[in-house]
Amino acid sequence: MKAENTTKIQFDSLSANEAYARGATAAFLARYDPTVPQLADIKTAVSEAVTNCIVHAYPDRVGPVTLTIAVYPDRQVRITVADKGVGIPDIPQAMEPLFTTGDPEERSGLGFAVMQSFMDKVQVSSHPARGTRVVLTKHLAEKDSST
């Protein structure tokens, strides 16, 4: 099925840009009139995915992060967060709750678990030294017009 509307932005892997990614996502999806909880879930998942790029993909440098949002006629939202960083050598291990390659004093290792709890589907693909792609999918339910 072809998306009815898409956007794509690229920004540097700076912590200040995590809020930009969240805000851009909310602004793009506003025309679809998601519920407040739906929008909060999506913004939280995007925040986690972008933070993973900032913290893990480019541990020693700043690199590009690409955010693509596509909305399909059935109100299915697909958000892709991609980087060209170090990659994930073991995706199943990385998706285990509490696993982190960052400083355990600063990182909880719950990023993927949070994404999975807020989205309908989370897919991760990665290639060492070539980057990672996280695809977040959520169906926006129709608002109840009787309220």
Q: Which two tokens stand for residue 118?
A: 């807020």
Please indicate whether residue 52 is annotated as part of the active site: yes
Please indicate whether residue 107 is annotated as part of the active site: yes
Looking at 17, 18, 22, 48, which residue is catalytic?
48
Rounded distance, CA 26 to CA 17, Å? 14
Looking at 52, 61, 75, 78, which residue is catalytic?
52
Instruction: Please list, in sequence order, all residues whose beta carbon lies within 8 angstroms of the beta carbon of residue 119, skipping any fewer than 6 positions away.
Output: 41, 42, 45, 136, 137, 138
Looking at 75, 78, 107, 133, which residue is catalytic?
107
Please indicate whether residue 78 is annotated as part of the active site: no
7 residue type, one letter: T
Q: Which residues are catalytic?
A: 48, 52, 107
